[in-house]
Structure 1
Amino acid sequence: MTDIFDPLLSLEEDYYQEGYAHGLADGEKAGRIEGRVFGLEKGFERFLELGKLQGRCSVWKARIKPLDIPAATSTAASHSTANNFRITNPRAQRQIESLALLLTHPPFKNDEESVEEVEETLKRGKGKGKVLANMLNEKGDGEAGSATIGQEESIEDAGRGARGASRT
């Protein structure tokens, strides 16, 4: 014969099991959302760094190209100023072309191999960027995005990596 109070004796365990089941379901859902958000944040950070490197590389590549200034419209002052920013060092030009080739098509897949490839590309690209910044005598640490624009700094100075340069 069963006592009518027997269900009350297991009441605490029943509520514990019910709470555990609800918490497990909510945790799985929250974990998926949190994991997805974390993955998006990390992916954004990696590709932002790659984009900064690619931007610096584009500027360097533009500085390699010969001047296309017509002789009639160019003044000697503007021509000599523009030549100061040209990259004529053949070793630096090869490094820039190598960096551009490295950054051409990073993988956009979300598998382990692609993630490792992006990390390796980023690591090698940062290294090449540092070497190029040193070769070109640019101020800063040479990493992508190292030149931050302050209130007293012009955007041209930031693009060259000069920190705290005054406007003239």
Structure 2
Amino acid sequence: MWCGFERSSYELNEFSMEQQLKTELDLDDIVNIESMFIEFGREDGIKEGIKSGKLEGHILGCEKGYEISQEIGFYDGIAEMWLKIIVDKRWDITKHSINERIVKQLISLRELISLFPKENQQNIEFLELLNKIRSKHKVCISLLGTTKFQKFKRTTIDDKESENV
């Protein structure tokens, strides 16, 4: 008896089928909601990954650019200093041909350095050029006899910060 009225078996059967159908729909909705939230989370993760990846890439690019520029500047400074000593001060070496060879190598080093890009360019192989500059620097300091003294010591931004503390 339901609220004072008797229900027929047909009505009870229909009522239970409606409830069963409603329960199945609720379960499907729950499963769909779960997959919907998974998809929303995935899309949000992709967006955040792109954003943080760009930021990390920018920071890494700045750090590496700083390190490479520091190295190139070191080589350029050495070449400029030795050219001034040899050419301007008339550095006296007993063998005149060695002096000319050193000057030629130092000028060649400075020319390579001037070719090094100062801006980002897609098509230039700057690592290949950097290796040529390093090799030319080794030749120059070898000819000068300063291989033990004029080597580039790599320092990072983190090293600079720890020195300031």
Indicate whether the TM-score tops 0.5: yes
Q: Structure 1 122/142 Cα, relative in aligned 2: closer, same or farther at 3 Å? A: farther
Asked which structure has the greater RCO (Cα within 8 Å, sep 6+), the reply is 2
Task: Give me the TM-score of the superposition, normalised by structure 2.
Answer: 0.65
Which consecutive residues of structure 1, in runs of 5 or more, have no partner in the other structure? Answer: 69-81, 147-168
Q: Which runs of 5+ in 2 are unaligned?
A: 1-17, 155-165
Cα deviation per residue 1:77-129 (whole Å; 9 max; x = unaligned)? xxxxx868xx9721111111111222124222322223x1x323321111111
C-alpha deviation, 1:141, in angstroms: 7.8
Runs of 4+ displaced beyond 4 Å: none
Tell me how far apart the structure 1 counterparts of residues 121 and 41 of structure 2 sit (CA, whole Å). 35
**Structure number with higher helix proportion:** 2
Instruction: Say if 1:52 and 1:67 are closer, same or farther in 2 by CA, change over 3 A.
Output: closer
8 Å Cα contact 2:83-2:106 kept in structure 1: yes
Kindly indicate whether residue 134 of structure 2 is the aligned counterpart of residue 126 of structure 1.
yes
Structure 2 match to 1:51: 73
1:48-80 CA-partner distances (Å, limit 9, x unpaired): 211111111111112112439xxxxxxxxxxxx
Aligned equivalents of 2:82 and 2:128: distance in 1?
A: 22
Q: What is the alpha-carbon root mean square deviation over aligned residues?
A: 2.8
Letter in 1 for 2:134: K
Q: 1:130 to 1:55 in 2, by over 3 A?
A: same
Say which of 23, 36, 44 aligns to 1:22. 44
Deviation at 1:36, TM superposition (A): 1.6
Bigger Rg, structure 1 or 2: 2
User: Are 1:108 and 2:130 an aligned pair?
Assistant: no
Partners of 1:102 and 1:121 within 8 A in 2: yes
